[in-house]
Structure 1
Amino acid sequence: MNLAYWILAGLLAAFYLYSGAVKAVRSRDRLRPMMAWVDSMPMAAVRAVGLVEVLGAAGLILPRLTGIAAWLSPAAAIGFVLLQVGATAVHLRMGDRQVALNAVLLLTAGAAAWAA
């Protein structure tokens, strides 16, 4: 189970570290081609989501790696499940039915929470 957690957490952390950093630093115009939903949100909210993703990526790895507050790792995975529930809702509300990536991320985060 430990190996399964590290594989899942590593993949999720890499994805969310990149995704969060992009949201935290790029302009709305540079985000729009990848994320059409940025036009429906204030930039402060987009930046906040990016920060949450970066912190969540750290939360998946660092607590388990250091042994300090290890309960934060499954909490971060559960947070990503909730994030994807919200992201799916935003996509569907906007009429975007392409939510396969959201579903994969939701299932992966759920599996990481279970494996933790």
Structure 2
Amino acid sequence: MTFQELLAFLFQQAETQTFRDAAANIQKRISGMTDAVFLNILEEIGVIPEKVPHDSTVEKLFAKTADIILCECFRRLGLQASVLQERADSADVFGSSPIYGYSFAADAKTFRLSRTAK
């Protein structure tokens, strides 16, 4: 799956699924990616493409996808991690080390270059 294919999948999910179901479907897709495919997606997920409408369901799914990818990064590093379903003024991803016992919270950020580069 390329980044463009992931983006098309987000648009399709936004039209046909509830937000929660779409997030679950995205999680399945991402967790099933090979490392090579995952790294290609990881390189591009930080910037919201201009074709994603502002304040749209697709934009919210894009942000959730970034959270899911961050969580998957932690998992692939051997940490336990989960994406929080409800988020209001809190971190989006919670993780912990099964070996050292520490825990942490993380927050994935995505940006539109047209807004941040002015």
TM-score normalised per structure 1: 0.33
Which is strand-richer, 1 or 2? 2
TM-score (norm 2): 0.33
Larger helix proportion of the pair? 1
